[in-house]
């Protein structure tokens, strides 16, 4: 055993290890149920195997170059014997001890198979929690184990063919017979190394597999999962999965699985951080500027000249198409420096009451804090009011921007009425009663 960073051993699991019989694997699990469907062509056009055998010198069963070229981020790969004679670097009790540490990220997931109900408990846990676990169908997952345990961290030495900054963490699960987290997809590459005991893995490499989540479970489990491949993994076997491959791992007896996760930032995270980073470095005096301004033709319109000026002020947004840029800017500028926002009225106006009011000569008064802009679209326009966007006929959008109080000498069209009623019910327009009967 190497250096342990203050890990308390937890007896709860040791008492249980070995207390349940593992289920004998069936033959069907030992071979893929169907031929793999290749989502991406390989340059040699020879079908690539989905299962290979590793060795002490080649844990990937091939060179790192070949793995990166043919499998990394492209297709799953099962490597039998990736780590010959593998000994798990951590024991179940140490894992449970870690799950009780302040600051550890741990979850306990229990499946009531009869009712198909899942319970998720978040750590850190009291040691007594492990005494209360059922006989089967539960799993403990602990993230960032590499940060707490030097033996676990040493596993990373086998993954130096990947940039070290691509690594997220090593998550380790301990499960008793039947335990697992259900069928799901991960948004990151993962190497699932079997540590102790056996786990049945089912995956789907069907590129059209449905990815809808069950809405009755806290875990993001798939509503439908139809495996294309199933295997039984023993210690030292490793399954590589690229992002987005549906998978389901079920413990066969007591089982430990070590997940080396390579989470990549989402474009949303990259964009948000880049925007903050750039914003912090931009001087106040660099601003949207319009020294070329000519008198406005239509009140409130964000016209092409304004959008072009925006592109000048935001060179990194040059790739955004007109509609996306306008959609963002319209929402932004109608929120910009607005100290107050209109509150929705306590009681919504019905369409019938609205018709009656309009027939009675009611006018619509713009809330003083409603900031309005609009942009011409392909058909009609998008109206922006205090950060919200509404599809709206262009003529009405222009009127709303131009007039603080709108009077109608004819009943608005059905489409116009819908927009107006929505604005009334959002609190952006108030109804001022008319005198007409």
Number of H helices, E strands in the chain: 10, 16
In contact, 228 and 250? CB cutoff 8 Å = no
Among 61, 89, 92, 180, binds ligand SIN (CB under 6 A): 180
- Under DSSP, the state recorded for 149 is B
Q: Provide the edge-to-edge strand list for the sheet that holds 372-376.
A: 372-376, 381-385, 388-392
Cα(156)–Cα(167) distance, rounded to whole angstroms? Answer: 9
Contact at 8 Å (CB) between 225 and 202? yes
- Cβ burial 130-142 (10 Å sphere, 16+ → b, else e): beebeebbbbbbb
Which one of 16-24, 56-64, 180-188, 353-361 is the stretch in contact with ligand SIN (CB under 6 A)?
180-188
Q: x/- contact string, 248-287, with ligand SIN (CB under 6 A)? A: -x-------x-x----------------------------
Question: Could you tell me the smallest distance in angstroms from the CB atom of residue 261 to ligand SIN?
Answer: 8
Residue nearest to Co ion (CB): 186
Of the residues 77, 79, 145, 190, which one makes contact with ligand SIN according to CB under 6 A = 190
Phi, psi (degrees; rounded to nearest 5) at 252: -110, 100
Q: Which is nearer to ligand SIN, 139 or 254 (CB)?
A: 139
Report the b/e string of 354-374 with b at 16+ CB within 10 A.
beebbeeebbbebbeebbbbb
Give the nearest distance from C-beta 178 to ligand SIN in angstroms.
Answer: 12
Looking at residue 248, the DSSP 8-state letter turns out to be E
Please report whether residue 181 would count as binding ligand SIN according to CB under 6 A: yes
From 109, 83, 182, 91, select the one nearest 145 (Cα to Cα).
91
What whole-number distance in Å separates Cα of residue 437 and Cα of residue 433? 11
Total residues contacting ligand SIN by CB under 6 A comes to 10
**SS3 of 316, please?**
helix
Contact between 143 and ligand SIN per CB under 6 A = no
Binding positions for Co ion, rule: CB under 5 A:
186
CB of 234 to ligand SIN, least distance (A): 15
Report the nearest approach of ligand SIN to the CB of residue 62 (Å). 23
257 binds, among Co ion, ligand SIN, none (CB under 5 to 8 A by kind): ligand SIN
Of the two residues 257 and 382, which places its CB atom closer to ligand SIN in the complex? 257
| CB contact at 8 A, 220 and 213 | yes
Sketch the per residue contact string, 198 through 237, with ligand SIN: x for CB under 6 A, - otherwise. ----------------------------------------
Q: Applying CB under 6 A, which of residues 81, 133, 139, 221 lies at the interface with ligand SIN?
A: 139
Question: Is the CB of 204 or the CB of 257 nearer to ligand SIN?
Answer: 257
Quote the tokens at residue 349.
């106006």
382 binds, among ligand SIN, Co ion, none (CB under 5 to 8 A by kind): none
Closest-by-Cβ residue to ligand SIN is 173
The first and second tokens of residue 283, run together, are 């001087």
For position 173 contacting ligand SIN by CB under 6 A, the verdict is: yes
Residues in a beta bridge with 250: 200
Binds 249: which of Co ion, ligand SIN, none (CB < 5-8 Å by kind): ligand SIN
Choose the one of Co ion, ligand SIN, none that binds residue 239, judging by a C-beta under 5 to 8 angstroms depending on kind: none
Positions touching ligand SIN (CB under 6 A) are: 139, 173, 180-181, 186, 190, 247, 249, 257, 259
């Amino acid at each position: 055993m190497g250096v342990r960073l203050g890990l308390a051993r937890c007896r709860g699991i040791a008492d249980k290890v070995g207390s349940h019989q593992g289920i004998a694997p069936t033959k069907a699990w030992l071979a893929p149920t169907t031929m793999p469907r290749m989502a991406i062509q390989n340059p040699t056009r020879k079908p690539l195997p989905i299962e290979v055998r590793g060795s002490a010198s080649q844990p990937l069963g091939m060179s790192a170059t070949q793995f990166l070229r043919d499998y990394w981020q492209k297709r799953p790969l099962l490597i039998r014997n990736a780590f010959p004679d593998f000994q798990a670097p951590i024991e179940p009790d140490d894992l449970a001890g870690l799950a009780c540490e302040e600051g550890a990220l741990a979850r306990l997931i229990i499946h009531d198979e009869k009712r198909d109900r899942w319970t998720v408990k978040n750590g850190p846990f009291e040691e007594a929690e492990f005494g209360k676990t059922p006989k089967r169908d539960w799993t403990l997952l602990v993230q960032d184990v590499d940060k707490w345990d030097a033996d676990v961290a040493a596993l990373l030495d086998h993954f130096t063919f990947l940039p070290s900054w691509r690594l997220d963490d090593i998550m380790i699960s301990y499960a008793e017979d039947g335990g697992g987290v259900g069928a799901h997809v991960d948004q990151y590459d993962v190497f699932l190394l079997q540590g102790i005991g056996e786990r049945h893995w089912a995956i789907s490499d069907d590129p059209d597999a449905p990815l809808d989540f069950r809405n009755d479970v806290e875990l993001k489990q798939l509503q439908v999962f139809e495996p294309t491949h199933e295997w039984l993994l023993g210690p030292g076997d490793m399954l590589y999965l690229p992002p987005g491959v549906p998978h389901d791992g079920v413990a066969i007896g007591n089982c430990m699985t070590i997940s080396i996760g390579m989470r990549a930032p989402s474009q949303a995270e990259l964009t948000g951080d880049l925007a903050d980073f750039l914003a912090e470095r931009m001087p106040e005096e660099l601003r949207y500027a319009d020294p070329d301004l000519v008198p406005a033709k239509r009140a409130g319109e964000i016209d092409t000249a304004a959008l072009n000026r925006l592109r000048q002020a935001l060179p990194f947004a040059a790739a955004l198409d007109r509609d996306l840029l306008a959609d963002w800017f319209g929402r932004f500028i109608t929120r910009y420096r607005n100290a107050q926002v209109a509150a929705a009225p306590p009681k919504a106006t019905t369409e019938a009451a609205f018709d009656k009011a309009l027939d009675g000569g009611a006018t619509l008064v713009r809330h003083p804090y409603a900031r309005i802009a609009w942009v011409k679209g392909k058909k009609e326009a998008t109206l922006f009011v205090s950060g919200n966007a509404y599809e709206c006929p262009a003529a009405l959008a222009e009127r709303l921007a131009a007039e603080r109080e709108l009077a109608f000498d004819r009943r608005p069209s059905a489409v116009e009425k819908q927009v107006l009623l929505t604005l009334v019910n959002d609190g952006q327009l108030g109804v001022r009663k008319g005198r007409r009967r």
